Structure 1
């Protein structure tokens, strides 16, 4: 698969821009702040409906406007698919597929598959667990679009349950002081959250098992192979609540123990875990057990990558996570020409020569690679394809 044309209206700094593209490598070159990242951010947004730079949609709209449009023409094995995504300031986002009637934005998930590398990826290794959970969930949604509904259901139930617990805390409830009616209401939300949490946990565990061998291989490709990179899922379902109300996560091999369990058994375990933690959750006014507090622990050799990896090792681990996701998506491709688009956003300026060369040699054979750089000298020889200069508010191709 490749992107043949991108059109943006009132997206970020662009009033209007048209970007024709071809298979192979395209390099977007221009000084920082000119809009290179805005272009590739729009492509990636079509894939996950989220930005790697901001957590809300508001900043994606050009200042002073109420909506932005992303239009794209994709080529899958010789067949054209047009996508249009409308990002709105005051109502739900909408989409069109092949100019048909508007649909929900999430209905386009899975059509445009991308893997984006960016300097922000260091947070996948150095940052808090939320970054690694988000990485896993976004890959899950790209791979299995219906997972977006599972994730949305869990977040909705979590929000409702937290509101109930917070209300109980504000009224100084204790386990003994909660009425039968309040207990019954909590029991209902416990069941809802257990079902949604079990579905999300099962999907994450299955995906991580698929990711693990590719992660180890990708790290070896990027380094001298003297250390191995592993990922372990540490679930609050296997943990214990400490006296201060925090959850001690399960052991590093807890994912192996949980991976063989089905959704019904995981649901049962969540219901029990919620019952066991109810007193502390009422005292704290929030949910202490669930996928929203789980961790994907990266181990480099025998030590956690977070806090122990050098700067170079951290970059290699972050790149390996993205490469592993690319390999999983390639493995999943059911027809020729359905490979994901690779996006390397200002990555090479951050890497030493050795890592630049290794990463470039790995990705250069992809069907389509979009690269951004401030200067051409940052681009390895293997990735010096078609060059497009990005200017304030517009672009100029090589031939113009």
Structure 2
């Protein structure tokens, strides 16, 4: 898949921008705080239905305006045209696909497929378990949009179950008839989410190791025998190591396991007023060799692992449907020269890559270049490769 046009109206610091894009690499270059990341954020929003930087959609609306519009046209791998337009307006967002309004916002997200690599991705290794759970869910949602609906069903049932447990803790009484209904709903949806996550970990394992080996191969300071380990740790204490070729787990069996674990912890749940077992409390263990990457791996190893996870996500998502667009937000600045070259070699094989950089010379990719300055995007008047960068900005 590749974007052919991108239009922003009152998005972040852009009053209006209209871009026509080509296959291959496109580089957006300019000083910090000029709006480069905002362009990639808008594309990512069409994929995930949210920003990768903030939790509130209102932050994307340009200050002093009531609404923002993100509109993009893309071509699928088989040449089909798809246009998605999102209007962000406080309290009533709207989405259209090929000019037709969608009843549900979720029906329009994910049609434009993309994978973002950004400095924030280091949180996949260094951050909280919620960062790794979100990574898995984003991957699964990008692979099959129906996953997002199941995840939403689980979250809704979990919220209802937690509300009943909280009220029960305060009153000393738990309405079992209502509680059991929401527990059934929660278990069934949670088992489907868990089965998908386990399948995702199995699918990721070999691509992560391949990408990691490729990024660090021949690096003088890297022991390539220490490859990444992925292990899914279920909140009931059981763990499953990622193994390529493993069959998709049976949701019915997982539902039985979850129900038994919830029954065992019911007294504790009522005392604490919250659900203690389920995908919302699971963890994705990331290791280099057998040691946890968090706390033991070097900075270079952590960065290589984070990049490998996203490169592997691109491969896994692309196995089902269109190849995702790759979004690289100031990633090359975080890498040494060796890893820049390795990443660029991977990117050269992708259908479309959108890259941001403060200095164009640090990105060893050939392609279309734009200058970004103060909320405007223009084609540069000079050859940056000859001048050493956009010195006029």
TM-score (norm 1): 0.89
The answer (yes or no) to whether the contact 1:232–1:255 under 8 Å persists in 2 is no
Q: Which residue of 2 aligns with 1:141?
A: 141
Q: Which runs of 5+ in 1 are unaligned?
A: 240-249
d(CA) in 1 for partners of 2:130, 2:269: 20
d(CA) in 2 for partners of 1:217, 1:255: 14
Q: Give the one of 251, 261, 268 matched to 1:273.
A: 261
Are residues 340 and 254 of structure 1, via their aligned partners in 2, closer, same or farther at CA, if it must alter by over 3 Å?
closer
Q: Which residue of 2 aligns with 1:163?
A: 163
Structure 2 residue matching 1:390: 3-state secondary structure = strand
The answer (yes or no) to whether the contact 2:133–2:284 under 8 Å persists in 1 is yes
Q: Which residue of 2 aligns with 1:205?
A: 198
d(CA) in 1 for partners of 2:160, 2:53: 28
Structure 2 residue matching 1:112: 3-state secondary structure = coil
Superposed displacement of residue 226, structure 1: 2.9
Please state if 1:332 is matched with 2:320.
yes
Q: Which residue of 1 aligns with 2:287?
A: 299
Please, what is the CA RMSD of the aligned residues?
Answer: 1.9
Are residues 329 and 260 of structure 1, via their aligned partners in 2, closer, same or farther at CA, if it must alter by over 3 Å?
closer
d(CA) in 2 for partners of 1:192, 1:254: 28
Please state if 1:397 is matched with 2:379.
yes
> Which of 152-161 and 52-61 deviates more?
52-61
Within-5 A mapping of 1:290-369: 290-333=278-321, 338-369=322-353
d(CA) in 1 for partners of 2:184, 2:338: 52
The answer (yes or no) to whether the contact 2:3–2:22 under 8 Å persists in 1 is yes
d(CA) in 1 for partners of 2:241, 2:374: 51
The answer (yes or no) to whether the contact 2:47–2:114 under 8 Å persists in 1 is yes
d(CA) in 2 for partners of 1:152, 1:83: 22
Q: For each residue in 1:325-348, what CA deviation from the matched residue of structure 2 results, as whole angstroms up to 9, or x when unmatched?
A: 111123223xxxx32111100011
Structure 2 residue matching 1:342: 3-state secondary structure = strand
Structure 2 residue matching 1:162: 3-state secondary structure = helix
Q: Which residue of 2 aligns with 1:377?
A: 361
Are residues 261 and 318 of structure 1, via their aligned partners in 2, closer, same or farther at CA, if it must alter by over 3 Å?
closer
Superposed displacement of residue 286, structure 1: 0.9
The answer (yes or no) to whether the contact 2:37–2:356 under 8 Å persists in 1 is yes
TM-score (norm 2): 0.91
d(CA) in 2 for partners of 1:31, 1:61: 22
d(CA) in 1 for partners of 2:239, 2:112: 37
Q: Which residue of 2 aligns with 1:58?
A: 58
d(CA) in 2 for partners of 1:226, 1:339: 30
Structure 1 moving runs of 4+ over 4 Å: 252-256, 258-261
Please state if 1:386 is matched with 2:358.
no
Q: For each residue in 1:185-221, what CA deviation from the matched residue of structure 2 results, as whole angstroms up to 9, or x when unmatched?
A: 3222211111111111111111221111111111111
d(CA) in 2 for partners of 1:349, 1:101: 40
Q: Which residue of 2 aligns with 1:236?
A: 235
Are residues 354 and 210 of structure 1, via their aligned partners in 2, closer, same or farther at CA, if it must alter by over 3 Å?
same
d(CA) in 2 for partners of 1:388, 1:103: 36
The answer (yes or no) to whether the contact 1:205–1:259 under 8 Å persists in 2 is no
d(CA) in 2 for partners of 1:226, 1:281: 43
Q: Which residue of 1 aligns with 2:215?
A: 222
Q: For each residue in 1:232-268, what CA deviation from the matched residue of structure 2 results, as whole angstroms up to 9, or x when unmatched?
A: 111013x2xxxxxxxxxx3454999x97642222222
Are residues 208 and 254 of structure 1, via their aligned partners in 2, closer, same or farther at CA, if it must alter by over 3 Å?
closer
Q: Which residue of 2 aligns with 1:119?
A: 119
d(CA) in 2 for partners of 1:26, 1:348: 14
Superposed displacement of residue 106, structure 1: 1.1
Within-5 A mapping of 1:9-158: 9-76=9-76, 77-91=78-92, 93-158=93-158
Are residues 343 and 260 of structure 1, via their aligned partners in 2, closer, same or farther at CA, if it must alter by over 3 Å?
closer
d(CA) in 2 for partners of 1:366, 1:285: 48
Are residues 377 and 206 of structure 1, via their aligned partners in 2, closer, same or farther at CA, if it must alter by over 3 Å?
same
Superposed displacement of residue 19, structure 1: 1.4
**What is the aligned length?**
374
The answer (yes or no) to whether the contact 2:72–2:85 under 8 Å persists in 1 is yes
The answer (yes or no) to whether the contact 2:8–2:18 under 8 Å persists in 1 is yes
